[in-house]
Amino acid sequence: MPMPFMARTPLKPQRPKLPSSFPLWRSTRADLHGTNPPLKNDPVGDRVNLLGLDAAGLVNLCASWGEKPFRAQQLLKWIHQRGVSEFDAMTDLARSLREHLAANAEIRAPAVISDHRAADETRKWLLDVGQGNAVEMVFIPETSRGTLCVSTQAGCAVDCRFCSTGKQGFSRNLRLDEVIGQLWWAEQALGGTTAGAERQISNVVFMGMGEPLLNYDVTLAALRLMLDDRAYGLSRRRVTVSTSGVIPMMDRLREDCPVALAVSLHAPVDALRDQLVPLNRKYPLDQLWSACSRYLQSAPRDFVTFEYVMLDGVNDSEDQADQVLRWVADLPCKFNLIPFNPFPGSGLRRSPMDRISRFARRLSDAGIVTTVRRTRGDDIDAACGQLAGDVRDRTRRTERMENKIIPIPIERPAALH
């Protein structure tokens, strides 16, 4: 009888690296760290980047120029729905407004440093966001959908033990132009806004670098643009925010813009989750359960997705699957089990596939929809947990951990009896 999940081939452990040369323009690695002259697509003077304005921001900008609100709606469509960046091409705008825009505004996404394609057609871009930082985004094509995974921070301060991004430390939150600019750029690169072309991006997941809910205002503004029918027109069911459990912001998102929710669980008891997801020390599992229950009152889907990375000898026993079942009791949910994607210095190993299968069977036999995450893009370090970019770490975590591979003192919880 077929299982309700699929076993996948193990990944190749590789360390994400910034390329030594940038193929899209003449540049050097020093450009990224600010020691060379500015890149050629840096903003000119004090021009406002229209990618950094949401619908209300465009209305305010047009009003400050003496233009009516409908001009902002026209701009919104030209920029986000049609992907146009040249003001002269915005033919239904008055010539005087187009000239004013050309002199005072620009449409500029983060500069692309590198563009890699995996054997399975997964595509990963490395984007320059300035001040010595680069972030990554990934496009995952499938038969029935195309998913873009976007980043919200340069680095991440949550420091989950199994995540390559967190190992790099944290620099800063991304701005709106840097977050929505990822979708804007990917649409152009994939040909989705070309006249007559079918959009390839049907889903967006906030699962790239960073914790989206710790950059809440920008995440919210980006979500609203993605859902706006005058912009990208995505449905709430096709946009997913992943969080490690920032409970106050989960409650705010439920009120402000409830989209599909994915929660990084990774452990069924506080003692273990404290070690794997340090944020659990502030927002423990009982509070997380309650926050998920509240979110479902407004969510576009009738379940919460739980992400669970499978770590050899750490969180993958059948007894721990039973603990998971106890924790999710009466909470509508589905599970994505994620084979761990190795990176140097983690001190962790991937669970064997037979153990992942037994864990999955335990959950599915209890009536929980359970899948094993299909690994995509591992040959270009684009798989889950492997996004690292290049981060100037203000937390100095990289410096403190340099050349130290420290085993993580994780003890498996005692079996339930």
Nearest to 382 by CA among 174, 123, 25: 123
Q: Give 55-90 pLDDT, tens digit per residue.
A: 999 999 999 999 999 999 999 999 999 999 999 999
Which two tokens mark 405? Answer: 């591979």
Question: What span, in angstroms and rounded, lies between the C-alpha atoms of 55 and 232?
Answer: 12
62, 160, 257, 384: the catalytic one is 384
pTM: predicted TM-score of the whole model, two decimal places: 0.81
Catalytic residue among 67, 106, 136, 307: 136
Which residues does 271 contact at the CB level (< 8 Å), separation at least 6? 413
Tell me the pLDDT tens digit for each residue of 47-64: 999 999 999 999 999 999
- Per-residue pLDDT for 392 more than 70? no
276: tokens are 């794997």
Rounded Cα–Cα distance for residues 197 and 26 (Å): 31
Measuring CA to CA, which residue among 335, 339, 274 is closest to residue 306?
Answer: 335
Query: What fold characterizes domain 111-401?
Result: TIM Barrel (3.20.20)
Helix, strand or coil, per DSSP, at residue 339: strand
Task: Give one word for 277, left, alpha or beta, with left for phi > 0 and alpha for psi -120 to 50.
Answer: beta
Q: Which CATH architecture has domain 44-106?
A: Orthogonal Bundle (1.10)
Active site residue 384: yes
pLDDT tens per residue across span 345-380: 888 999 999 999 999 999 999 999 999 987 654 544
Q: How far apart are CA 330 and CA 349, in angstroms?
A: 32
Where do the structural domains in the chain lie, given as residue ranges? 44-106, 111-401
Q: What is the DSSP letter of 144?
A: S
The pLDDT assigned to 194 comes to: 55
Which pLDDT value is given to residue 195? 53
**Structure tokens given for 17:** 């690296």
Q: What is the mean pLDDT of the chain?
A: 83
208 pLDDT above the threshold of 50: yes
Nearest to 240 by CA among 372, 349, 150, 109: 150
Same fold, 44-106 and 111-401: no
